[in-house]
């Protein structure tokens, strides 16, 4: 059996198609197709079923894929061990972080990680979607949501608290809502719900309330939302970390203090692909972020 063909089978299954595998390997699709045919000829059975929309391994193909993946991971581990002994911990990590939490909380974490591991390269994406970590070749994603996608490996890091808040001047002039429904009668400053209505859930004790909102200002740029709140343009509905310092210093006041608020969920997760090999660099990053997140829980 052609060893390189076995590893190619792993690349095809992981990528979800011949074209994606060819793109990742930087070769033509015809090259990938030919090498797969040679492997199937060598073993004497079909390994991949092809349809117009997707590919899937046959039973034998799946067995070979599992063996091939184990072999590839062992090879990568051996290469890492040799390189680490020779040069120290190095490598690269491609990370996707939320626009708000990434900018306001994780920036200091990421700088500290780089200071601790100077030979690990970090590539950072500031975005909020979760639809395709495979396509973006992301090693680790941090997301705030209600429940993580079943297809991904998830580690819960903590909870993000939301506050309804306004500048001290706005609160003095207009007051703050006393009930969740009052958010529908004030200009609201918050992040948008892409492609759908913005729904806000509020919990008062064991009771759950929900309402739809049409924000006066909506943006994924939390620095802008912060400035809009300070400028007295309305009531901000943002994670507490955005205005924590301002609240401590009296520039911003919070309302609905008896309510627990949620917009897009309030649980913070670290996500990764289940079958992607974790390099020492990625494992070091995951352990570091889990350590930093513990400080949030504490």
Please indicate, yes or no, whether the overall pTM of this predicted structure exceeds 0.85: no
* Topology of the domain comprising 89-160+267-297: D-Maltodextrin-Binding Protein; domain 2 (3.40.190)
Element (H, E) at 77: helix 59-87
Secondary-structure percent of the chain, ordered helix, strand, coil, rounded to 5: 45, 25, 30
How many angstroms separate the Cα of 249 from the Cα of each of 22, 185, 244, 258, 291?
56, 27, 9, 21, 28
Pick 162-262's CATH classification: 3.30.750.80, 3.40.50.2300, 3.40.50.40, 3.40.190.290. Answer: 3.40.190.290
* Residues near 63 by beta carbon (within 8 Å), at least 6 away in sequence: none
Cβ burial 170-199 (10 Å sphere, 16+ → b, else e): bbeeeebbeebebbeebbbbbbebeeeebe
pLDDT of res. 94:
92
- Cα separation, 284 vs 29, whole angstroms: 35
Domain boundaries, the chain: 3-85, 89-160+267-297, 162-262
Per-residue pLDDT of the chain in tens (298 residues, 90 and over written 9): 677 877 888 888 888 888 888 888 888 888 888 888 888 888 888 888 876 667 888 888 788 888 778 777 777 777 766 666 556 567 889 999 988 899 889 999 999 999 999 989 999 998 877 665 656 678 899 998 888 888 888 999 988 899 999 999 999 999 999 999 999 999 999 988 766 678 888 988 888 888 999 999 999 899 999 999 999 999 999 999 999 999 999 999 999 989 999 887 888 999 988 877 778 889 899 999 999 998 776 5
Dihedral (Cα; 231, 219, 266, 151), 10-degree rounding: -170
- Cα separation, 59 vs 117, whole angstroms: 42
Beta-bridge partner residues of 198: 213
Q: How many C-beta atoms surround the C-beta of residue 8 within 10 A?
A: 22
> Which class is domain 3-85?
mainly alpha
Judged on CB neighbours under 10 Å (0-12, 13-18, 19+), 200 is buried
Dihedral (CA of 29, 32, 36, 42) sign:
positive
Beta-bridge partner residues of 270: 142, 155
Are domains 89-160+267-297 and 162-262 of this chain identical in fold?
yes
Distance spanning both ends of the chain, measured CA to CA: 54
């Amino acid at each position: 059996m052609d060893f390189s063909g076995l590893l190619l089978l792993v690349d095809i299954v992981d990528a979800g198609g011949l074209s994606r595998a060819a793109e990742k390997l930087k070769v033509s699709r015809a090259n990938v197709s030919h090498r797969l045919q040679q492997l199937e000829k060598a073993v004497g059975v079909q390994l991949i079923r092809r349809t117009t929309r997707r590919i899937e391994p046959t039973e034998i193909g799946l067995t070979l894929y599992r063996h091939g993946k184990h072999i590839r991971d062992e090879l990568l581990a051996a290469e890492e061990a040799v390189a680490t002994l020779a040069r120290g911990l190095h490598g690269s990590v491609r990370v996707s972080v939320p626009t708000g939490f990434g900018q306001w909380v994780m920036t200091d974490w990421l700088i500290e990680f780089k200071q601790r591991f100077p030979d690990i390269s970090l590539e950072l994406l500031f975005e909020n979607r979760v639809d395709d970590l495979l396509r973006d070749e992301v090693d680790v994603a941090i997301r705030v949501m209600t429940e993580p996608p079943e297809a991904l490996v998830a580690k819960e890091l903590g909870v993000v608290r939301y506050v309804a808040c306004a500048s001290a001047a706005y609160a003095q002039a207009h007051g703050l809502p006393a009930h969740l429904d009052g958010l529908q009668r004030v200009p609201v400053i918050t992040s948008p719900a892409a492609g759908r209505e913005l729904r806000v859930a509020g919990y008062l004790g064991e009771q759950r309330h929900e309402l739809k909102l049409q924000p006066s200002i909506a943006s994924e740029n939390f620095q802008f939302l912060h400035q809009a709140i300070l400028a007295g343009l309305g009531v901000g509905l943002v994670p507490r970390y955005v205005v924590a310092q301002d609240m401590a210093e009296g520039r911003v006041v919070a309302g609905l203090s008896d309510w627990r608020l949620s917009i897009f969920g309030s649980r913070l997760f670290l996500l990764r692909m289940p079958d992607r090999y974790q390099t020492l660099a990625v494992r070091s990053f995951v352990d570091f972020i889990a350590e930093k997140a513990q400080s949030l829980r504490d």
